[in-house]
A and B are shown apart, each in its own frame.
Chain A
């Protein structure tokens, strides 16, 4: 999706190291999400943010942290506490977080994280 930029495309983490994945959007969307995808699996929600300076834990938040200081940006930090970080990470946005909005999610092209 041209409106959502994830970087880098590939990232390698050493033992004990924190790494940060970038997600930037120019869609002016309120809500942003981080998902983790393991091989042959669906997506699992890590964190989401409905609005600037607010974010909530998803189903698998342990070992991850986020911030939402600007509407356009929602970086994800994979901390050393995440013992199995190797996965494909996807960022997504929706126009509104309201339950009745019936809006699809728009996805970036992902970051593949591996352990060195």
Chain B
């Protein structure tokens, strides 16, 4: 089941601008993760935020998590053409006795030079 849903589905910005992507989910989570996928490639892990954390930074990336609203956002500052990719949020939660990562449908980011 698709628990995480990203918004917007597509985003086009100029190089140097900031890009913000949002993710909403439905059930309690252990952590939330953001991944990046270049066309035709596998996913690359960007950042993981635990359920007891509210904000996390990694280089030009800033992730926030609001468990009361069941939402997260990914901010990419000073974007570059090389940031063009699809970005997915994934929620890590217990499903029965198993731990599963459930992915949203992604935001396609295009950074124009």
Contact = CB atoms under 8 A, between A and B. Distances in A.
A42 B45 contact: no
B42 A99 contact: no
A92 B101 CA distance: 11
Interface stretch (B14-22, B60-68, B76-84, B103-111): B103-111
A109 B42 contact: yes
A22 to B, nearest CB: 14
A42 B88 contact: yes
A42 B42 contact: no
A58 B1 CA distance: 10
A5 to B, nearest CB: 11
Contact of B30 (A44, A88, A99, A112): A99
Nearest to B104: A42
* Majority SS at the chain B contact face: strand
Contacts of A6: 42
A48 to B, nearest CB: 7
Report the interface size class on chain B.
20 to 34
Nearest to A96: B99
Interface string A28-72: 000001010000111111001010000010110000000000000
Contacts of A109: 41-42
Nearest to A50: B98
Contacts of B30: 99-100, 102
23 contacts: A4-B42, A33-B101, A40-B106, A41-B105, A42-B2, A42-B104, A42-B105, A45-B102, A88-B40, A90-B42, A92-B43, A97-B99, A98-B99, A99-B30, A99-B94, A104-B45, A105-B33, A105-B43, A106-B45, A107-B35, A107-B42, A107-B44, A108-B42
